[in-house]
Amino acid sequence: LSHRADRISTGDLTVDLSMPSTNEIGKLATSLSTMVDSLKASHKRTLEINASLERAVRERTDELRRKNRQIEAQSKKVMEASRLKSQFLANMSHELRTPLNAVLALSEILGNETSGPLNDDQMKQVSIINRSGKSLLRLINDVLDMAKIEAGRMNLNPERFTAFDVLEEVTSITSTLASEK
């Protein structure tokens, strides 16, 4: 019984503990056999739990891989959308700048009275056209600059300006429209 107990203590749960004796050693063998059966059941439950945990880990890993693939696909779509936006802005800037530069050039020609004299109202309107065109050109440039900043191709250079000049420009642009209404 001592030899069998030593084998059990080293992890060998296959030891046969059946002893026909009803004396104290037989009772010890029966108790030891009950303990071994309990150990076998615990070991079996541990193996089942381990298998279940391994399955859960595999499932979770597969789920994370699927989600990572989805995130990568979304990231590629976002990058493509950003590229298309930048391309659109570049194309539109050219399409907007060309006619706007023509408007500015013509307003300057009119303002210089090359084609003939203008009355005060006409001169004021030509001046508003010119300022508005320049303002629109600055806005287009600002939009393009923002696209360049987003793309990391431009550094910001903060500049000081006076609010009075901005308000004066806005007032001159909108006063004509307001008086028409």
DSSP class of residue 114 equals: T
d(CA 156, CA 24): 93
% of the chain at pLDDT higher than 70:
97
* Structure confidence at residue 58 (pLDDT): 97
CA atoms within 13 A on the CB side of 35: 14
Tokens of 34: 């009950």
Which pLDDT band, with edges at 50, 70 and 90, does 73 fall under?
A: very high
Cα→Cα distances 180→127, 175, 176, Å: 17, 9, 6
d(CA 96, CA 38): 85
DSSP class of residue 116 equals: S
Q: pLDDT digit string (tens) for 127-144?
A: 889 988 988 888 888 887
Tell me what the pLDDT averaged over the chain comes to: 86
* Structure confidence at residue 66 (pLDDT): 97
Q: pLDDT digit string (tens) for 152-163?
A: 777 778 888 889
d(CA 54, CA 89): 52
Helix (H) or strand (E) holding 152: none
d(CA 133, CA 80): 33
Tell me the DSSP string of 26-83: HHHHHHHHHHHHHHHHHHHHHHHHHHHHHHHHHHHHHHHHHHHHHHHHHHHHHHHHHH
